[in-house]
Amino acid sequence: NAGVTQTPKFQVLKTGQSMTLQCAQDMNHNSMYWYRQDPGMGLRLIYYSASEGTTDKGEVPNGYNVSRLNKREFSLRLESAAPSQTSVYFCASSEVFADGPLPIYGYTFGSGTRLTVV
């Protein structure tokens, strides 16, 4: 019963290097998300995927790309890392667990990836 699995848990990059953060969920959720959390702040949405085959920009998409590889996997790529991208990155997925005029969504978060760009 893994839920949302993120890899790696920690990463240090040099400025200009590239890397891909991996995320996989085993709950058959349609929607997946990437958030970043800077020190002492709330989570801000980078990109999301409402369903397999679709991706959309969130609040802070600059410097990132995403791929919804299949229903399970949603990766986040930094093409040329910058110190401003030092953050903790969370992947999440969601499902509707009660439908109606106001559907109720449940969200499951991964444990986060702590990324430092030097």
| Contact positions vs other proteins (CB under 8 A) | 31, 33, 35, 40-45, 48, 50, 56, 58, 88, 90, 92, 94, 101-107, 109, 111-112, 114
| 118 contacts 12 by C-beta, under 8 angstroms | yes
Smaller CB distance to other proteins: residue 62 or 99? 99
| 27 contacts 108 by C-beta, under 8 angstroms | yes
Residues 6 or more apart in contact with residue 24 via CB below 8 angstroms: 4, 5, 72, 73, 74
Smaller CB distance to other proteins: residue 48 or 64? 48
Q: Least CB distance from residue 111 to other proteins, whole Å?
A: 5
